[in-house]
Structure 1
């Protein structure tokens, strides 16, 4: 089971604690985030580097994404020891399996009544319920998500929205057929696009199912780089969660910046992922929170591709104690990016993930000091 308890409710969000994730005991306080994996690794880091140089505040709960592994699904099944061992992950870890990559593309027009389109580096893979069930069982992760029809853009008509919710409900029912075994804890994916009515309908149709361990909200249209309306986001989340048990863990996936994270925490979201720091690192960018975060939601993004840093021998971010900021300079980062050295991504991932982790620590501290409801 996912053993989660809410320790405090405030106007600024909820403080919680995860004590177990499937069979793995953890001591993980929320708000927080899963550690995003691609091909069973933190992008650009070896496990040795991650364990020795990435000093995270809490024991990670990992987010394993299917698109980078789907072509190896049959091999992993034949391997018989699960995806974590196949990928060489060290130790016994809490791992959540998602059918989509939050940093991948999700173009519309490819889902149908029998399958969801999953996009890999080599193109589209149609994922039906039977195949997803087989993958869930052979990958052997602590938890997994149910399938959701995500093809609900802002201009989606009534017919498309109805189809999307009906498909999500059908996928859910087919996944948990009475005679079928499905290994791992169930995290129910909730969709419905930009329609408050269909968000609520999806929550009622699939969210109230038995044995639901947690919820994840399909919100890819609201992630970094896309226009977002906080009022609209708030209303959609209210409609999603109002019919559901308030004590269950609430998750959301995607590269959300520190301002949006703070807003989503205020709406009751407990658990995010670490795709935002990875996205920035892969663009040659690094970020730093304002000194008064989260009193303000401000943060700075620095583009180390910029030639102006070529002769800058100061630390990337003053006061940051991460490996990157204590060992290297702005000029060196610019040089690495300019010469396309792999070390550039490694150093930027280490800094960005350290800062993202610190962000959640600051949010939790702020909630601890806030007046409870």
Structure 2
């Protein structure tokens, strides 16, 4: 069983470590922290060897049931679980119901089943089917079956109540079935907190789930919330206040650095790392400073503006970067630069000055721009290496800032990038 030890609290933000992980109990996960995001149990764009070149890889890997459920027969025949099958035997595995990048379409869950979508279409999961799947997957942490689609349906009071009732019923049934299964009875169960945007139902879900023998809690559905950012954060605060202090709180689909800081400030401990993948898919590189106390000798280069605003003041370059019809700017955040832009054709500097990742040490912005415009697969590999390492480093900086009593200083620095 996992054990959470809190070493410092800043407001509601918690600094600590989750221990007693894995078969031997020797692995640990520092919090606030993130998990290694995968698709079909493989780090996007990366082989096992290239993944190992990245510094700071989290000790827990995130897989999703929606991408793996259709492979149940293969895994049952293989018998040794998805970890060994995918070459992830040296890490712990956390299995969520859905992939945070591609949530399931709404309107298909019932009182008896939860639907997930894989490459082959829709699969309906009963609690018994869910337990059979988990027996084949052999992961370490299991998000319990839950009805988390209320957000996409508009969040009516009746629908929110139904999502909580269904999720609690699924939780009770799955816990009962797991207690009768020798292979699963010792697994870590993460209970999902549902209820849409309604605080009354969210609190009921939190209170009732906390009564069950779960080892942690997933604040589900916030990535699809139609509520305002302030209302969403107030709801997260209200929910975490109802949860036990000695168990970790997870959230999926919240990855932008300023949103991560807001959630940490309200008591969330563990995040997924799908955000670097989304940035990579846009042809972008994470390019923001997250050092709360930079080294004076390198401060000048490490704090290079995220968007190179000095460069964009030049009319010609600004025109080149803003009028390229092939670039979709709707989802590009202020924490990244789009290397598809023509202004990077002759930029021979690293993606981020001061970054020690393989890409920044060996290649330039101009080279990655060339790979992107040529549609070479190497572009995704190099961007994924950089974006993962930068993101993992960001969480390390958060923990260091909290340890030094500088959390709010770092939050202000991160917040300035989004304004």
**Counterpart residue number, 1:31:** 32
Change (3 A) 1:244 1:255: closer
The answer to whether structure 1 residue 215 and structure 2 residue 217 are counterparts is yes
The answer to whether structure 1 residue 321 and structure 2 residue 356 are counterparts is yes
1:111 to 105, 109, 112: 109
Deviation at 1:21, TM superposition (A): 2.2
- Is the Cα–Cα contact under 8 Å of residues 236 and 263 in structure 2 kept in the other structure? no
Unaligned runs of 5+ in 1: none
TM-score (norm 1): 0.91
**Counterpart residue number, 2:167:** 168
**Counterpart residue number, 1:20:** 20
**Counterpart residue number, 1:151:** 149
**Counterpart residue number, 1:276:** 275
Distance in 1 separating the partners of 2:200 and 2:8: 30
Distance in 2 separating the partners of 1:353 and 1:227: 28
Deviations 1:347-370 (A, max 9, x none): 111111111111111111111111
Deviation at 1:86, TM superposition (A): 1.6
- Is the Cα–Cα contact under 8 Å of residues 208 and 244 in structure 1 kept in the other structure? no
Unaligned runs of 5+ in 2: 295-302, 307-333, 408-419
Deviation at 1:227, TM superposition (A): 6.8
Distance in 1 separating the partners of 2:83 and 2:157: 41
Deviations 1:235-294 (A, max 9, x none): 212332333211211111114100001111100111111100011111111112236559
**Counterpart residue number, 2:395:** 360
- Is the Cα–Cα contact under 8 Å of residues 35 and 270 in structure 2 kept in the other structure? yes
Which structure is higher in strand share?
1
TM-score (norm 2): 0.82
**Counterpart residue number, 1:5:** 5
> Root-mean-square deviation (CA), in Å?
2.3
The answer to whether structure 1 residue 41 and structure 2 residue 39 are counterparts is no
Distance in 2 separating the partners of 1:122 and 1:78: 20
**Counterpart residue number, 2:330:** none
- Is the Cα–Cα contact under 8 Å of residues 61 and 93 in structure 2 kept in the other structure? yes
Change (3 A) 1:71 1:371: closer
- Is the Cα–Cα contact under 8 Å of residues 191 and 218 in structure 1 kept in the other structure? yes
Deviation at 1:107, TM superposition (A): 2.0
Deviations 1:100-158 (A, max 9, x none): 11111322111111111212233322222111111112211111011221121273222
**Mapping of residues 97-108 of structure 1, within 5 Å:** 97-108=95-106
- Is the Cα–Cα contact under 8 Å of residues 284 and 383 in structure 2 kept in the other structure? yes
**Mapping of residues 291-370 of structure 1, within 5 Å:** 300-370=335-405
**Counterpart residue number, 2:192:** 189
Give runs of ≥4 in structure 1 deviating > 6 Å.
Answer: none
Distance in 2 separating the partners of 1:69 and 1:44: 18
- Is the Cα–Cα contact under 8 Å of residues 153 and 221 in structure 1 kept in the other structure? no
Change (3 A) 1:42 1:291: closer
Deviations 1:210-253 (A, max 9, x none): 2x11111103435xxx8763421232123323332112111111
**Counterpart residue number, 1:81:** 80
Change (3 A) 1:92 1:59: same
Distance in 2 separating the partners of 1:361 and 1:262: 13
Which structure is higher in helix share?
2
Distance in 2 separating the partners of 1:27 and 1:330: 36
Distance in 1 separating the partners of 2:383 and 2:406: 36
Q: Which has the higher contact order (CA 8 A, sep 6+)?
A: 1
Deviation at 1:22, TM superposition (A): 4.2
The number of equivalent residue pairs is: 364
